Amino acid sequence: MSGFEWFGEEERKEVNEVMETGVLFRYEFPSERNNVFKVETFERRFASYIGVKRAQAVTSGTAALKTALAALGVGPGDEVITQGFTFIATFEAIVEAGAVPIPAEIDHTLNMDPADFERKITDRTKAVIPVHMLGAPARIVEIMEIARRRNLKVIEDTAQALGAFVGPKKVGAWGDMGTFSFDFYKTMTTGEGGMITTDDETLYRNASEYADHGHDHNPAVSRALEGRSFLGFNFRMNELQGAVGIAQLAKVPAMIDQQRRNQVMFRETLDGFPAVRLRELPPGGEDSYTHLCFFVEGQGKAQAFCEALAGKKIPAVFFKGNLWHYLPNWEHLIAKKTLWRGPHPFGGPLYGKEIEYSPDMLPQTSKILDSLVVMPISLRMDEERIRLTSMHLQSVAESLL
């Protein structure tokens, strides 16, 4: 579930190499850094792991989304379609870009319903952000087909699904750009951090320059003399984070293997219960096993299931009640509260109309989440803990289903 569970000697060794040079910064200091380029190395290895040409490291997954939107030229007057079941960061990044987030429904993949995505397209839609939630891929092949046909840009929010894939490609390599997060909850961590992936050299340059005040990164001149083509911002990752990233990335395949072993064990416990329906994967889709997600039908059943597990000290989440991942629970978004004077971006002359959000605007998502049980899969589980968890899972299922 989280890289911070597997943290130790390898990370320390990488960080120490930075401490020995004393250069904590990603750019400059060519003579002092003794050929240590941790962030650059991390980016190269990350791009190769995902299977893309380019990767740009930034300070968070939210910064990665904001940078990707900037690189694609998304801004005021544009609508960006995403899903109403995601971490709120996806919406925040769209609003920060000055665009209007439009929520689509999810289906039983727990990710964007392609048909509803297509229904939500208007003449203002510029891009779509499918989110690969809770470890597993969205129906990215169908989403890409619709986006290409309708001339829309695609950013995959891959914060929660590092290492998952569909057919021949990892998620984060399908869209025009992919974004990743390395915060405390994600498959690998750098303390805080994020990454943007792309095969497009122009988008890469836009992202790389935007995330560094617009510097054009001309190796022939000093930083003070570099040119710039547009205004940017500072989302630079530092060398200490890059060092941790190198060590964590090397562990990702083993972490996913461990998660798979643990998740499959719990899944097998549920095999004997016909009332349990597992989360769907798209054709050719492969999970990264960060969570076990399943549906139990019946009024109040899923919530009772989660509470019963929690009563046995087994972490389980009833996401419909979660305050950070589901649009109807975001009263501040629904009220369009910003620190600046409204109505931008939700209304105003550039948008030319006014968006309304309401708690009942996603009936299909609401129905799916009613029956959803989510168990986070820890990396640190010894035989005894696995045995106890399976036993409790079995007894809760027997008593409720």
Of 57, 13, 111, the residue nearest 325 (C-alpha): 111
Q: Give the DSSP letter of residue 230.
A: S
Over its C-alpha atoms, the chain yields an Rg (Å, rounded) of 22
Q: Per CB under 6 A, which region of 4-12, 28-36, 82-90, 199-207 contacts ligand PLP?
A: 82-90
Chain residue at closest Cβ approach to ligand PLP: 61
Those residues with Cβ within 8 angstroms of residue 298's Cβ, 6 or more apart along the chain or in another chain: 275, 371
Residue of the chain from 61, 84, 114, 285 that contacts ligand PLP (CB under 6 A): 61
Q: Which is nearer to ligand PLP, 86 or 269 (CB)?
A: 86
Those residues with Cβ within 8 angstroms of residue 42's Cβ, 6 or more apart along the chain or in another chain: 57, 237, 242, 243, 245, 246, 249
Residue of the chain from 67, 82, 83, 181 that contacts ligand PLP (CB under 6 A): 181
Q: Which is nearer to ligand PLP, 171 or 296 (CB)?
A: 171
Residue of the chain from 2, 56, 60, 197 that contacts ligand PLP (CB under 6 A): 60
87 binds ligand PLP (CB under 6 A): yes
159 binds ligand PLP (CB under 6 A): yes
Q: Which is nearer to ligand PLP, 89 or 368 (CB)?
A: 89
Q: Which is nearer to ligand PLP, 230 or 324 (CB)?
A: 324
Of 236, 202, 216, the residue nearest 39 (C-alpha): 236
Position 189, amino acid: T
CB of 90: closest distance to ligand PLP in angstroms? Answer: 5
Tell me how many residues contact ligand PLP (CB under 6 A): 14
Q: Which is nearer to ligand PLP, 86 or 389 (CB)?
A: 86
CB of 26: closest distance to ligand PLP in angstroms? Answer: 18
156 binds ligand PLP (CB under 6 A): no
62 binds ligand PLP (CB under 6 A): yes
171 binds ligand PLP (CB under 6 A): no
Q: Are 24 and 240 in contact (CB under 8 A)?
A: yes
Per the DSSP assignment, residues forming a β-bridge with 285 are 166
Q: Are 373 and 296 in contact (CB under 8 A)?
A: yes
Residue of the chain from 39, 70, 80, 131 that contacts ligand PLP (CB under 6 A): 131
Binding mask 90-119 for ligand PLP (x = CB under 6 A): x-----------------------------
Collapsing DSSP to helix, strand or coil, 302 comes out as: helix
Q: Which is nearer to ligand PLP, 163 or 194 (CB)?
A: 194
Q: Are 185 and 161 in contact (CB under 8 A)?
A: no
Q: Which is nearer to ligand PLP, 106 or 131 (CB)?
A: 131
Q: Per CB under 6 A, which region of 154-162, 226-234, 282-290, 366-374 contacts ligand PLP?
A: 154-162
Residue 138, CA distances (Å) to 215, 230, 285, 322 in order: 35, 34, 8, 21
Strands in 37-159 per DSSP E:
54-58, 79-83, 100-104, 125-128, 153-157
* Reduced 3-state DSSP string for 254-295: HHHHHHHHHHHHHHHHHCCCCCEEECCCCCCEECCCCEEEEE
86 binds ligand PLP (CB under 6 A): yes
> Which tokens go with 319?
């996401």
The residues binding ligand PLP (CB under 6 A) are: 60-62, 86-87, 89-90, 131, 157, 159-160, 181, 183, 194
